[in-house]
Chain A
Amino acid sequence: MTYLHRFVVKVAGESGMGINSVGEVLAKALKNVGMFVFGYREYPSLIKGGYSCYQLDISDTKINASSSECDVLLSFSRVSLHAYLNTVREGGSVIHSVIQVRFTPEEEKIIADRRLTVVYLPAREMAITIGGNKIMENTVMLGAIWQVLDLDLEELKSMITEQFAKKPEVIPGNINCLEAGYTFKLEGVSKSQLDLRKTENFTDDYLLTGNHAIALGAVAGGVRAYYAYPMTPSSSILSYLADISHETGMLVKQIEDEISVANMAVGSMFAGARTLIGTAGGGFDLMTETVSLSGITETPFMCILAQRPGPATGLPTWTSSSDLNIAVYAGHGEYTRLVLAASDIESCFILTQVGLNMAEKYQIPVILLTEKQIAESIFQVNRMPDPIPIERHILSNDDAKKMKSEDRFAITETGISPRWLPGQSEAVYTANSDEHLPDGTLTEEADTAWASYNKRLRKEKTLLEELPEPIVFGDPNADISFVGWGSVKNTMLDVMACLSEFTDKKISYLHYEYLYPVKTKVLKEYAKKAKRLVLVENNATGQLGQIVTAKTEIPFWEKVLKCDGRPFFVEDIVNFILGGSSNAV
């Protein structure tokens, strides 16, 4: 019997042991045989040592979330073996290459109670004797897990051959190691009960992370400058855009700090180059004054805010959704902004482009929230959505020529004024961080200051009319009606897909993608019909709930919250549905 239609493999070891490459090869091989995978990484904030894991949830249907428990733990190191033993599901197996393991009495009890099978696989010795190099230990382990998955080795062999195409001398050793692991007698290890051979449905999907999708969204969205300071979990946007910069011609530059990043973005956008920046919470804190600058100068600004737990350094390599408040409230003064939240590959790709269009149309700061769980996890998708048309809302040269300076920040009903770029017209203007008249001239007069301030705030109303309402998934007659945002969606949809496996209850889920300004019509209807309305957020205080309650007076009596750096695993939601309690703060 499989749990929620998935088989879960956790590859664990020390940082720097090549855990990720084992995970990646495995993910790709499984995808190539027609399976669906979701790859989740846990790792400490250090380069060598500690313990980390690459967990693959495997299914015969599309999945986008992780389990907290695994069916097989594949462990390369003593520390990781002890650290992750407790995550193996009842009846599961542990395959490890650790010499002379001694379990504590508590661990022995876990092994007995859960009827775990523990097998020692001398992978390192086998790698040396068979492959001639201890680094082929990974390949032996890969062969072993392929045996547990009960799959044909040919696929993995051809992948290994392809992977080492540039180093053909290591191919025979690796193939031999693969076979040795595949044929090693894994006494008592139960094989996957999933039917993993659905090759007739093979579609050659893509495997990519949320950060890849954001970067591809930037390319498709015509971004020509990307500035960033490295900060987990946003850094791989910077490194990937830099890697492909010779193909795209995009100016990709690592800058000395986030304050510079934000101000360079404002400078580039003022001059007219479509610019994107990315950071995590701490870096965004440094940018907040510049968010406010974008607000008053009406310079388009777009920042990817990849969340991890705070405060301060917090849990640097773990996940969280606790930065909604800074996205919504960052920066002094009052002005219009747009806050978006991605959840998966499609939304990362599309919302990046939407955000850029909105930033330029409304001449406002736009913040796109992601989470480590989205930014760095490996998603399998069949195709990328079509890119959306680029809308810059910049006047043509002919129209710009007709403008007067005072048209640039003209007081309008919608709050939006015509925008032309420096160099386009003789009608020059000042983008002024001081309160100003419609041509940018400083003013301290009450009536003109009031007019400009309110003009900028009026954009919110115009924007709100254009924004889509949240999306509702699931049964309209649900017993439990969840509300959430971000990666919560992925867990909800995965659970929803197998709901009948464990309960007769019906559930629904309302998902916010356009977070702020907040749309409330659909939510109000949803809440009215709900038998139980439950807020689900990966933070401690229910930040979306507070915003929504303030706007609608709809209270959330039940909250499922989590703030330990881990994402919502499918079990978290399953247990709640089965009668677990909420944990409102």
Chain B
Amino acid sequence: MPCNTCVTATSQPTQMKDFASANIFTWCTNCGNYGINAAVRRALVELDIKPCETITCFDIGCNGNGADKIGGYTFHGLHGRVIPAACGAALANTETKVIAFGGDGGTLGEGVGHLVHGVRGNYNVTFILHNNLNYGLTKGQASPTTKKNMKMDSSPDGPTSEALHPVRFVLALESTFVARTFSGDVKHMTKVFVEAIKHPGFSFVEVFQSCPTYNKQTPHEWYQQRVFDVSTVSDYDPSNRARAFEIAEDIENKIAIGVLYKDKNSVPQSARQQNRAKLNTQLVEETRQYPIDTLLKAFR
């Protein structure tokens, strides 16, 4: 149901306070989640999106504890399953901005299949991957992105599986928008989130996130010293997937951030439904009794 009450009621531009929550943050001091929360709100304000026009969807984990700490309608789902829930919401009402958040554990461990098909389906969802290289909320176990030299709870000698490279993985999935940023730079995150939210289709944003409690190896300073935005590379063309693969490869020394890949011709899932091409209504407003008389004739 499109927001036809509050949008007209508040003609004022959206402000940061509109997306504020009265609830107290419960994250560790210096957790990257503070910056991400602020940058998401800033991006929404910059785009002048009203809280009642947004659905933010949260996975389980430290990021999920932010589900009730941002304005707008929010949904807090199951571990690893936030992507299908967000995709379902996006199909139901394309006039709503749907933003989903998940950690490296839920997204690349338990729910990795959902990431694959969310990308393939190009649902109109902005997905923000909180990648802090570990399972924080369960107290510091190895995640699919934990580096092999990191000794973790339950993996005292370090993980015995190879670390996944999220951007390389998603670039290989016929993605239409792939970006990277890091949680120590709210300004950069805001810029990237704005682009991601504007993109029609599945926007994948990896945020390298600090975890001051369980990941001492890559704090904000570590990233700060290594990142550069691809827009500073004079000949960088974000429509070139091969170039994106190449520049995104290094995540140890010179780490490329910014919009790495973008398909300008992206067609979101909702616009791929041929049987709905002539309908300009939303699923949420279409429920009524549809006649079955004509359909029944086929069974005579």
Contacts and interface: CB of A to CB of B under 8 A. Distances in A.
Given A271-B55, A441-B23, A421 B4 contact: no
5 contacts: A220-B290, A247-B295, A273-B283, A297-B75, A387-B289
Nearest to B86: A267
Interface string A384-422: 100101101000011011000000000000000000011
B295 A224 contact: no
Contact of B290 (A248, A290, A423): A248
Contact of A431 (B76, B91, B92, B284): B76
A267 B85 contact: yes
A306 interface: no
A272 B117 contact: no
Interface string A250-267: 111001110111011111
Contacts of B253: none
Contacts of A95: none
Interface residues of A, number: 72
Contact of A271 (B51, B276, B284, B296): B284
Contacts of A222: 286-290
Interface in B31-81: 51-53, 55, 57, 60, 64-65, 67-68, 71-78, 81
Interface stretch (A67-75, A204-212, A557-565): A204-212
A397 B85 contact: no
Interface of A: 204, 206-208, 212, 216, 219-225, 227, 244-252, 255-257, 259-261, 263-275, 289-290, 293, 297, 384, 387, 389-390, 392, 397-398, 400-401, 421-426, 428-434, 436, 440-442
B4 A268 contact: no
Given A225-B92, A421-B1, 19 more contacts: A207-B300, A219-B290, A220-B292, A224-B283, A225-B283, A246-B275, A251-B91, A267-B86, A268-B91, A268-B92, A272-B92, A273-B283, A289-B78, A389-B289, A397-B1, A397-B5, A428-B71, A436-B68, A442-B23
B174 interface: no
B84 interface: yes
Contacts of B73: 422-423, 428-431
Contacts of B53: 423
Contacts of A401: 5-6
Contact of B88 (A212, A267, A274): A267
A432 B67 CA distance: 8
A257 B296 CA distance: 31
A251 B92 CA distance: 9
A9 B276 CA distance: 44
A384 B292 contact: yes
A272 B1 contact: yes
B141 interface: no
Contacts of A220: 289-292
Contacts of A274: 287
B95 interface: yes
A212 B297 CA distance: 13
Contacts of B76: 297, 430-434
B299 A247 contact: no
Interface in B236-276: 273-276
B283 A267 contact: no
B12 interface: no
Nearest to B292: A216
Given A272-B93, A424-B3, A208 B287 contact: no
Contacts of B90: 267, 271
Nearest to B95: A423
A425 B5 contact: yes
A273 B78 contact: no
A248 B55 CA distance: 27
Nearest to B7: A423
Contacts of B274: 246
Interface in B80-119: 81, 84-93, 95-96, 113-114, 116-117
A328 to B, nearest CB: 21
A206 B93 contact: no
B75 A431 contact: yes
A145 B295 CA distance: 31
Given A225-B92, A255-B117, A270 B75 contact: yes
A250 B92 CA distance: 11
A510 B273 CA distance: 46
A303 to B, nearest CB: 14
Given A206-B299, A271-B89, A430 B75 contact: yes
